[in-house]
Structure 1
């Protein structure tokens, strides 16, 4: 399966991508901007993760530009009955193979696929309160802030707020940004 965007291609994670993905996971800056894991991630840990990718409730995609993996996007906690899912995105901050707007294109492509092909009704995201870039991206895409989970994430010896956003299918349909080719 491939999802084609304006400048990116979303494809399945392959063994050749593991080195870059581990590099991203072990990047202290990346770890400080996200919640959910604590580095370092070893080759063995990543191999176990790679072998466990076949969940019906997750969709994991590598963001590919011109044959180079530059990040990862996906859905997790997909609830098929209620047609909801949580979106995530992590892009390599080293710009060696990146293009301006590639994160937006990757997220837009995944959202389009989620609503149009998977039939989801709502997509939500949770980001750290201080992750301004991520919050700004979600707001540009029409996500509404649902609330703040105060001091929900413990990182670097401190508790941090987590901001919850969501986008309904009807909001997606109204947003010109999601119409391919416009």
Structure 2
């Protein structure tokens, strides 16, 4: 995991996505329990993921970050058992941090009046509150850095956990596109959720 910390929460960090991160991105986007709810019916090989990073993630119309768990060296020691000096510790917290990527958050279509949010976590890390925290950190950053009226998110009608996440964050359902996408064996409604600036920051 080569990306640097962009934002920090209590338990998660949001880190930049680099070209060396192809393997994790490919594993996540191809996972059956991730690809299905995202409506991604085609497998993606390494070359396709590399092209996605170059054309989409490195573009200027979206913000794309990995959700990571960082664990520090518990005893602050070097490999030979000697305690690190204050000078060593001051160089960078990154040196003693082990980073585990667990998912991804995005703000897409930044040119829209209400940009589009997206998110996913690997199944092993779902249901632990990480997605709620990651999205909270992302929304804090977004509304602090981009003067937009609001944001939107779209989920399929059978994805109840994702709907519950958005509702916890204060989103309201604003529309339902009926039988809009064929995904996971059936036509599904696509539900449009929205969150206004003042609903998030209290203006």
Q: TM-score, normalised by structure 2?
A: 0.78
Deviations 1:157-181 (A, max 9, x none): 4211110000000100239xxxxxx
Please give the alpha-carbon distance, in whole angstroms, between the structure 2 residues aligned to 1:28 and 1:7. 26
Superposed displacement of residue 48, structure 1: 0.8
Q: Relative to 1, partners in 2 of residues 1:145 and 1:99: Cα closer, same or farther, differing over 3 Å?
A: closer
In the TM superposition, residue 99 of structure 1 has moved relative to its aligned partner by: 8.5
Which of 100, 106, 118 is the equivalent residue of 1:74? 106
| SS at 2:180 equivalent | strand
Deviation at 1:9, TM superposition (A): 1.0
Partner of 1:179: none
| C-alpha distance 76-93 of structure 1, shift in aligned 2 (>3 A) | same
Show the counterpart of 2:154.
126
Q: Which residue of 2 aligns with 1:92?
A: 122
Does residue 64 of the first structure (1) align with residue 68 of the second (2)? yes
The higher radius of gyration belongs to 2
Equivalent residues in 2 for 1:14-33 (5 A)? 14-33=18-37
* Structure 2, unpaired ranges of 5+: 71-98
Secondary structure, aligned partner of 1:136: helix
Q: TM-score, normalised by structure 1?
A: 0.86
Query: Any conservation in 2 of the 1:25–1:39 contact (CA below 8 Å)?
Result: no
Instruction: Find the aligned partners of 1:122 and 1:156 in 2 and give their Cα distance.
Output: 30
Closer, same or farther in 2 for the Cα pair 1:132/1:99, shift >3 Å? closer
Paired residues in the alignment total 170
Name the structure 1 match of 2:17.
13
Distance (whole Å) between structure 2 residues aligned to residue 16 and residue 79 of structure 1: 28
Structure 1 gaps, min length 5? 176-182
